[in-house]
Amino acid sequence: MASTRINRYEKGVHHPDPVTVQRVADALGVPAAYLLASDDKLARLILAFNSLPAKAQERVVSELEQMVGR
């Protein structure tokens, strides 16, 4: 039954609710945002960012904001 449900999510027939997304992410050991990323580059960025310590995450965010002029 679960494989049928996952298949329907993959095909876009159904969309998982936020609780289900979080459960799948927890089971896979990835952030929920990774599962919702719109492309591979963004997914890779999310995984890399998530693996950084908090101070490094802050530096990355600050540098990105500077790059885009925020």
**For residue 15, what pLDDT band results from cuts at 50, 70 and 90?**
confident
pLDDT digits (tens, 9 = 90+) for 32-64: 999 999 999 999 999 999 999 999 999 999 999
Which domains, from first to last, does the chain contain?
2-68 (1.10.260.40)
> Residues 45, 36: contact at Cβ < 8 Å?
no
Query: In sequence order, what DSSP letters do the residues of 13-70 get, joined into one string?
Result: SS---HHHHHHHHHHHTS-HHHHH-SSHHHHHHHHHHHTS-HHHHHHHHHHHHHHHT-
